[in-house]
Amino acid sequence: MRIHAAKRLMTLKVVYYGPGLSGKTTNLTAMHKSFADNQRGALVQLDTETERTLFFDYFPVVLGRIAGFRVKVDFFTVPGQSFYGSTRRVVLEGADGIVFVADSSERREEANLQSREDMVDALKGMGRSLDEVPHVYQWNKRDLPDAMPVSVLNGVLNPEGAPWVEAMAASGQGVMETQNAVLSAVVAAIHEQMSAGARRA
Ligand SMILES: Nc1nc2c(ncn2[C@@H]2O[C@H](COP(=O)(O)OP(=O)(O)O)[C@@H](O)[C@H]2O)c(=O)[nH]1
Ligand SMILES: [Mg+2]
């Protein structure tokens, strides 16, 4: 979280993490479309095939207010491919909230697990642990014939019992619900910090 006191502006960072092709860019594209022009900034998109200089997707949006501050949220995705490890770490740095987008396909079970481990390791490298970072899971691609049951996904990837949402991001389903879930978790954490600060003062 970055606070610009003079501007009464609070900037939050929300990162969509997950293995390659799980649907992170699809989420951001759908979210970007849903905001009004005067609320959102440009969507900067990664195209790994053709664009070698940009390694993530990003867009900013101005939402409501918290404690008299205007709230700007920067949404990012990380590139899933293994060789982009250092980019993933840079993008994850300072995240106020994380959405882990898992591919429900049985064939992606190992990729999901590896990506989650990579995320936990990256956080550890920053002196953080998953249980202190507001995060939610999106079980995406529920339309696939080989989609694993939600109970299995939760058992394997979400032992901590974080909030989760079923989605078919390609058709837009579950995208806003996921965004709302992560923002609620982030805002709750901020309120908690503020009231802890007030108790200490
Ligand atoms: N069947 C299915 N395909 C999806 C869904 N969401 C995204 N996709 C497809 O999965 C592919 C990878 O999506 P993308 O957003 O680029 O993945 P990223 O690598 O995580 O950014 C694209 O072809 C999407 O259209 C979904 O809910 N169901
Ligand atoms: Mg992508």
pTM for the complete prediction? 0.94
Task: Return the domain boundaries, the chain.
Answer: 2-200
- Ligand 1 atom nearest residue 168's Cα: 27
| Residue 100: φ, ψ to 5° | -95, 110
15, 17, 21, 103: residue to mutate for ligand 1 pocket, most atoms within 8 A of CB: 21
Q: Minimal CA–CA distance to 21: which of 84, 70, 81, 95?
A: 81
pLDDT tens sequence for the chain (201 residues): 999 999 999 999 999 999 999 999 999 999 999 999 999 999 987 665 544 445 678 999 999 898 899 999 999 998 877 778 888 898 999 999 999 999 999 999 999 999 999 999 999 999 999 999 999 999 999 999 999 999 999 999 999 999 999 999 999 999 999 999 999 999 999 989 888 888 887
57 alpha carbon – ligand 2 mean position (Å): 7
Q: Minimal CA–CA distance to 156: which of 108, 92, 113?
A: 113
| Residue 117: φ, ψ to 5° | -65, -40
Residue nearest to atom 12 of ligand 1 (CA): 21
Alpha-carbon 148 to chain mean position: 22
Q: What is the CATH number of domain 2-200?
A: 3.40.50.300
- Ligand 1 atom nearest residue 171's Cα: 27
193 alpha carbon – ligand 1 mean position (Å): 36
194 alpha carbon – ligand 2 mean position (Å): 34
Task: Give me the residues near ligand 2 (ion), CB cutoff below 5 Å.
Answer: 24-25
Q: Quick one: DSSP state of residue 101?
A: E
CB atoms within 10 A of CB 188: 11
Q: What is the CA radius of gyration of the chain?
A: 17
199 alpha carbon – ligand 2 mean position (Å): 42
Q: How far apart are CA 173 and CA 16, in angstroms?
A: 16
Number of residues in the chain: 201
Q: How far apart are CA 2 and CA 10, in angstroms?
A: 6
Q: Three-state SS for 2?
A: strand
38, 112 Cβ separation under 8 angstroms: no
